[in-house]
Amino acid sequence: MPMVVIAGAGVMGTAFTFPLVDAGCRVRLVGTPLDEQHIEVMKNGQVHPRLGTAIDDSVEIYYASQLGEALRADVDLVVIGVSSAGIGWAIENLGPLVRTTMPILLLSKGLTVEDGHILSLPEKVQRGLAKTGVPEAMVGGVGGPCIAGELAGRRHTSVVVSFTDQTLVDRIVPLLQTEYYHVAQSSNLTGVEGCAALKNLYALGIGAPQGMLERKGEKEKKVLMHNLASALFSQAIQEMAVFEQVFSGGVNSAYGLAGAGDLYVTCQAGRNSRMGRLLGMGMRYSEAKKKHMADDTIEGAELATAIGPAVKQMFGDGRLDKREFPLAEAIIAAVVDDERLEFAWKRFHRLQPVR
């Protein structure tokens, strides 16, 4: 039986144990220092405090301090299930323990900037592990619409797994496939990861129409703003396609599971949509965060803060054509510059979709 070690016992890392067990893998779940309470509860046979579901009895559970023990002997796959903010912990602690022959799969989504260049999290992990003595680490990612609770409930879920090496994709996918966890393949890792991260940023804009409706005092009327939300959704996909073409040379991820698919489910509910509603009501980001979502992690806002200055620089030096990103520009201005969210309507839907 293949052995899979998951680093991170949050909701998604824990939920990922379900398809792995059902696919016939042996699974070891390792918490981070922030997961100590979760680990203690699960070791006592109780349900995960946030996921609300008990994991399979066959899953071996480890504290963060036992990561080395969990990685003993042969491991067929290492899964990083921490938030994007925890990637540094994962690199620092996995570096001395993993071997180049161990493929690493990221559930985390995000982009980062190094030396003025935007990098995906797999690229960040590869660079980080190289500095710890693991050159040419094989790092891939998962994209697509996947709510942790639905995955733990064994609801049908479709995702896309990507490594730059297609032979590695072919090797990993069979470890994950079940009758409800459907895994597509891609070797365009940059495209998949870029879209998987950008969807959080665009969800802020698509959530705004609800707040705009409330600001008008027309929430109770039957005439809503689905037209506007749909138009913003379409603009977001088009902009993701341009981003993908610039950074990876492809466009399929924007129109597929990692782009349109993940954006759809993200817009149904969640923290990004709630923040978008507040911005649509006319609040500045700083006010909305402080008064209404002080304790929430807003992934789209964190991404805007991380890459916003670099995107502006790329607009200035021509690496990105500013005319093609009116929605991204508006969202970045709202978050990074704390401006009120305003849409430049005349700039929307002026370009032909990328082919």
Sign of CA dihedral 112, 114, 118, 120: negative
End-to-end CA distance of the chain: 43
Residue 117 φ then ψ, to 5°: -115, 140
Q: Return the DSSP state at 1.
A: -
Across the range 139-159, mean pLDDT stands at: 96
Please check the confidence at residue 353 and state whether its pLDDT lies above 60.
no
The three-class DSSP label of residue 5 is strand
Instruction: Give the C-alpha separation, 249 to 36, whole Å.
Output: 42
The pLDDT of residue 250 is 87
Q: How does strand 104-106 pair with strand 117-120?
A: unpaired
The pLDDT of residue 85 is 85
The pLDDT of residue 354 is 54
Instruction: Give the C-alpha separation, 45 to 9, whole Å.
Output: 15
Instruction: Give the C-alpha separation, 215 to 279, whole Å.
Output: 10
The length of the chain, given as a count of residues? 355
Q: What is the residue-wise DSSP string for 190-238?
A: HHHHHHHHHHHHHHHHHTHHHHHHHHTT-TTSS---HHHHHHHHHHHHH
Per-residue pLDDT reduced to its tens digit, 235-251? 999 999 999 999 998 88
Please check the confidence at residue 39 and state whether its pLDDT lies above 60.
yes
Containing 117, the helix (H) or strand (E) segment is strand 117-120
239 closest CA partner among 320, 151, 150, 138:
320
Average pLDDT, the chain: 93
Q: Does domain 3-187 have CATH number 3.40.50.720?
A: yes
Please check the confidence at residue 169 and state whether its pLDDT lies above 90.
yes
Per-residue pLDDT reduced to its tens digit, 189-220? 999 999 999 999 999 999 999 999 988 776 55
Q: How does strand 139-143 pair with strand 157-162?
A: antiparallel
Q: Does domain 191-347 have CATH number 1.10.1040.10?
A: yes
Residue ranges per structural domain of the chain: 3-187, 191-347
Helices (H), the chain: 11-15, 17-22, 36-43, 67-70, 87-94, 121-131, 148-152, 166-172, 189-206, 208-215, 226-248, 252-255, 262-268, 271-280, 285-292, 299-317, 326-336
Instruction: Give the C-alpha separation, 355 to 341, whole Å.
Output: 30
Domains 3-187 and 191-347 share a fold: no
Across the range 221-242, mean pLDDT stands at: 90
Instruction: Give the C-alpha separation, 196 to 106, whole Å.
Output: 12
Across the range 78-89, mean pLDDT stands at: 93
The pLDDT of residue 221 is 60
Per-residue pLDDT reduced to its tens digit, 89-131? 999 999 999 988 899 999 999 999 998 889 999 999 999 999 9
Residue 342 φ then ψ, to 5°: -130, 135
For residues 152-167, one letter each, b for 16 or more C-beta atoms within 10 angstroms of the residue's C-beta and e for the rest, the string is beeeebebbbbbbeee
Per-residue pLDDT reduced to its tens digit, 246-294? 999 888 999 999 999 999 999 987 899 999 999 999 999 999 999 999 9
Sign of CA dihedral 176, 181, 186, 189: negative
The pLDDT of residue 216 is 77
Q: Which residues pair with 60 in a beta bridge?
A: 28
Residue % of the chain over a pLDDT of 70: 97
The pLDDT of residue 199 is 96
Please check the confidence at residue 147 and state whether its pLDDT lies above 60.
yes
Residue 53 buriedness (CB in 10 A; 0-12 / 13-18 / 19+):
middle
Q: What is the value of pTM for the model shown?
A: 0.92
Please check the confidence at residue 69 and state whether its pLDDT lies above 70.
yes
Better pLDDT: 333 or 217: 333
181 closest CA partner among 215, 145, 207:
145
